[in-house]
């Protein structure tokens, strides 16, 4: 039986440990300290590292984790580090891109790789169909999506469409606790979306009790996340009526929403 541990880090990051009670794989370990603490608390041995993109808050802990693994290893075999083929991350030993499939050593966890550029040019996501798990880094957030630091609206829109095509029950393990801020923006876009208003109440209650709002699900995102709803008449009308876009095609609507969100407070 595999499960996923939530490991908070920095101000609002979530790092993930996929484990079987004995071995674990760390996803986007931007900070080694909380990962090592979680490994020790749950008596887990690190078996692999999975990276989605090159930003420091996702890869910064890798060197220290490699040292930790080497110091505590019973085997001289180096720890595998999986990461995007189209980005330069020095520690990556197994570069991956769209269409690749991997099995994480010692966990028997099969993952399919998806190219999801937009936030960065080479961003990837890891999808486990049997478990219904998606580790998507900073591409899709609960209620939102990542900023376009390196990619284009066309790329990010296509990446989000790829993720939205996964089964509705897929759990979305994104990398930040941005949910309430994202949902405030979503309400500005769709103030009459009943599913969204219900979600805001539910997620607010979680945060009031210091509980994570992630993982989300693909189905929930499709009903409440404006960046997955660029074909919805209410979203199109809202963007056009505010003068933020002059065309109603999904790319124009997405680009307008992303620019709007960049300055929304």
Active site residue 131: no
What proportion of the chain, given as a percentage, has pLDDT over 70?
A: 98
What are the structural domain ranges in the chain?
1-97, 116-265
Catalytic residue among 23, 54, 119, 123: 119
Catalytic residue among 58, 68, 86, 123: 58
Q: Which of 172, 265, 175 lies closest to 225 in space, CA to CA?
A: 172
Inter-CA distances, 127 with 46, 91, 99, 153, 190, Å: 20, 22, 11, 23, 30
Catalytic residue among 19, 23, 53, 68: 53
Q: Identical fold at 1-97 and 116-265?
A: yes
Catalytic residue among 19, 54, 55, 68: 55
Which residue ranges of the chain lie beneath pLDDT 50? none
Express each pLDDT in 198-220 by its tens digit.
Answer: 999 999 999 999 999 999 999 99
pLDDT of residue 249: 96
Active site residue 138: yes
Active site residue 71: no
Active site residue 94: no
Degrees to nearest 5, angle at CA 96 with 110 and 45:
50
Active site residue 55: yes
Active site residue 53: yes
Catalytic residue among 28, 31, 115, 138: 138
Active site residue 57: yes
Catalytic residue among 57, 68, 86, 123: 57
3-state per-residue secondary structure call for the chain: CCEEEEEEECCCEEEEEEECCCEEEEECCCCHHHHHHHHHHCCCEEEEEECCCCCHHHHCCHHHHHHHHHHHCCCCCCCCEEEECCCCCCCCCEEECCCCEEEECCCCEEEEEEECCCCCCCCEEEEECCCCEEEEECCEECCEECCCCCCCHHHHHHHHHHHHCCCCCCEEEECECCHHHHHHHHHHHCCCCHHHHHHHHHHHHHHHCCCCCCCEEHHHHHHHCHHHCCCCHHHHHHHHHCCCCCCCCHHHHHHHHHHHHHHCC
The model's pTM: 0.96
Catalytic residue among 19, 54, 68, 176: 176
Domain 1-97 sits in CATH at: 3.60.15.10
CATH topology of domain 116-265: Metallo-beta-lactamase; Chain A (3.60.15)
């Amino acid at each position: 039986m595999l499960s996923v541990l939530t490991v908070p880090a920095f101000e609002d990051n979530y790092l993930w440990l996929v484990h079987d009670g004995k071995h674990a794989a760390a996803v986007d370990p931007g900070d080694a300290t909380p990962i090592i603490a979680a490994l020790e608390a749950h008596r887990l041995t690190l078996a692999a590292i999975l990276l989605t993109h090159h930003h420091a808050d996702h890869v910064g802990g890798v060197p220290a984790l490699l040292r930790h693994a080497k110091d505590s290893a019973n085997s001289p075999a180096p720890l595998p580090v999986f990461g995007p083929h189209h980005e330069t991350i020095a520690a990556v030993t197994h570069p991956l891109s769209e269409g690749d499939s991997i099995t994480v050593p010692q966990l028997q966890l099969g993952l399919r790789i998806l190219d999801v550029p937009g936030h960065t040019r080479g961003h990837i996501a890891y999808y486990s169909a049997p478990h219904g798990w998606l580790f998507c880094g900073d591409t899709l957030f609960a209620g939102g999506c990542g900023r376009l630091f390196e990619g284009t609206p066309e790329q990010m829109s296509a990446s989000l469409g790829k993720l939205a095509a996964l089964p509705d029950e897929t759990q979305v393990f994104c990398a930040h606790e941005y949910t309430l801020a994202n949902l405030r923006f979503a309400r500005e876009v769709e103030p009459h979306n009943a599913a969204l208003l219900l979600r805001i109440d539910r997620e607010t209650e979680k945060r009031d009790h210091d509980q994570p709002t992630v993982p989300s699900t693909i189905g929930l995102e499709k009903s409440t996340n404006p960046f997955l709803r660029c074909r919805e008449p209410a979203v199109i009308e809202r963007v056009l009526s505010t003068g933020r876009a002059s065309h109603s095609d999904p790319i124009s609507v997405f680009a307008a929403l992303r620019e709007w969100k960049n300055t929304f407070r």
